[in-house]
């Protein structure tokens, strides 16, 4: 049987036939029986191998399904991780925006409190002066011309202070909404400076001389003359607060296509570590001086809107010197 089984496995069917034909009847019956048994064994072995093959195919299919499921799970996990990362970044941005808004709201509240406190203090002084000297003029009949002129000068000065305070608050509100009105037109910067000096000399509260210096007789530029005068008045009035003796000098120079305007004094000066802060809103070098702390920040806003720059000269050590530039556009 082993012989026929081996020949069947090897596919030697002709050899099996020849061998069977050469046997006698008795041997044929025996050989056929062996042959049939070999065929049955081979059939069973074939069925077993077929079953094993089918099981192996099913196992492979199951493995493929498992691998596919794992890959899909990984893809889903990776996708969810990316989405979660994006959402976390968005959430972080929203939190940062909220934090910035919260800080801005807190700053706005502090600024509101500061301006109300400053304004209540600053308005009280000139308002009391206006009321007091107005009462003196209206109730006194024996005032001589000098006393009357002195009362008028004080009323004029304090009226100007009140007007400047109100203008500062209005400009601050425009600064908050970026809506500062600028009216450009051709004008003589030298004439503007001379007129400003003449105005301040009449109402100054200092013994210091307010002088104007320039080698230029006339310089026409395209700017906002009212705003330039506002900047000059703020700078000069600031100088009078800290310079009670000596001189305050307004100077105009031309350099290329730019005009340089400076206000110098020989007063107390500004410490180097505070020079970069003086243009911040509500910043005051000396808390005991009058003012809202808005003037210099408004100066910076105006000069910036007019395409110029403004700064404190750190090299000037005799007091304080503010310099601003303007483009020369006819």
What are the pLDDT digits (tens) for 42-71?
A: 677 667 777 877 888 888 888 888 898 899
**What is the rounded CA–CA span in Å between residue 108 and residue 3?**
106
Q: Which three-class secondary structure state does DSSP give residue 201?
A: helix
Q: Report pLDDT for 199.
A: 76
Write out pLDDT tens, residues 182-229: 889 999 999 999 988 887 776 667 788 889 999 999 999 999 998 898
Instruction: Give the per-residue pLDDT at 212.
Output: 94
Tokens standing for residue 325: 């530039």
Protein fold of 185-327: Heat Shock Protein 90 (3.30.565)
Token pair, residue 110, equals: 């502090």
pLDDT of residue 133: 77
Coil/strand/helix, residue 92 = helix
The residues near 180 (Cβ < 8 Å, ≥ 6 apart) are: 171, 174, 301, 302, 305
Q: Which residues contact 228 (CB under 8 A, 6 or more apart)?
A: 189, 192, 302, 306, 326
Regions of the chain with pLDDT less than 50: 1, 24-26, 28-29, 177
Q: What pLDDT was estimated at residue 306?
A: 92
Q: Residues near 187 by Cβ (< 8 Å), separated by ≥ 6?
A: 220, 221, 222, 223, 225
What are the start-end ranges of the E strands in 2-154?
Answer: none
- Map out the domains of the chain as residue ranges: 1-108, 109-176, 185-327
* Two domains, one topology: 109-176 and 185-327: no
Structure token digits, residue 273: 């570590």
The whole-angstrom separation of Cα 90 and Cα 201 is 59
Q: What is the pTM of this model?
A: 0.54
Pick the CATH number of 109-176 from 1.20.810.10, 1.10.287.130, 1.10.10.10, 1.20.1260.10: 1.10.287.130
**Residue 106: both structure tokens together:** 């807190």
According to the model, what pLDDT value does residue 28 have? 46
Tell me what pLDDT residue 327 has.
Answer: 94
pLDDT attached to residue 114? 61
Q: What DSSP letter does each residue of 112-129 carry, written as one string?
A: HHHHHHHHHHHHHHHHHH
pLDDT for res 284: 58
Backbone angles phi and psi of 289, in degrees to 5:
-85, 155
């Amino acid at each position: 049987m082993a012989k026929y089984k081996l020949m069947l496995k090897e596919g030697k069917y002709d050899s099996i036939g020849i061998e069977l034909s050469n046997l006698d009847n008795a041997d044929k019956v025996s050989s056929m029986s062996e042959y049939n048994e070999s065929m049955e064994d081979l059939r069973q072995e074939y069925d077993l191998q077929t079953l094993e093959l089918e099981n192996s195919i099913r196992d492979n299919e199951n493995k493929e399904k498992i691998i596919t499921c794992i890959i899909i799970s990984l893809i889903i996990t990776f996708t969810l991780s990316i989405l979660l990362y994006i959402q976390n970044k968005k959430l972080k941005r929203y939190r940062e925006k909220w934090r910035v808004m919260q800080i801005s709201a807190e700053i706005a509240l502090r600024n509101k409190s500061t301006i109300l406190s400053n304004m209540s203090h600053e308005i009280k002084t000139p308002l009391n002066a206006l009321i007091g000297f107005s009462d003196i003029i209206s109730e006194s009949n024996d005032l001589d011309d000098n006393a009357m002129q002195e009362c008028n000068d004080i009323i004029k000065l304090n009226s100007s202070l009140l007007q400047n305070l109100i203008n500062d608050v209005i400009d601050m509100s425009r600064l908050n909404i970026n809506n500062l009105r600028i009216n450009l037109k051709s004008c003589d910067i030298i004439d503007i400076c001379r007129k400003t000096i003449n105005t301040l000399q009449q109402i100054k509260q200092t013994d210091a001389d307010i002088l104007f210096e320039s080698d230029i007789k006339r310089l026409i530029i395209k700017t906002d003359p009212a705003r330039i005068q506002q900047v000059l008045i703020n700078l000069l009035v600031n100088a009078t607060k800290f310079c009670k003796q000596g001189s305050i000098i307004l100077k105009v120079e031309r350099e290329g296509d730019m005009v340089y305007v400076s206000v110098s004094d020989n007063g107390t000066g500004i410490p180097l570590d505070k020079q970069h802060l003086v243009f911040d809103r509500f910043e005051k070098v000396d808390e005991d001086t009058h003012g809202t702390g808005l003037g210099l920040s408004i100066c910076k806003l105006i000069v910036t809107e007019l395409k110029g720059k403004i700064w404190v000269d750190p090299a000037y050590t005799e007091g304080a010197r503010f310099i601003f530039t303007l483009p020369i556009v006819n």
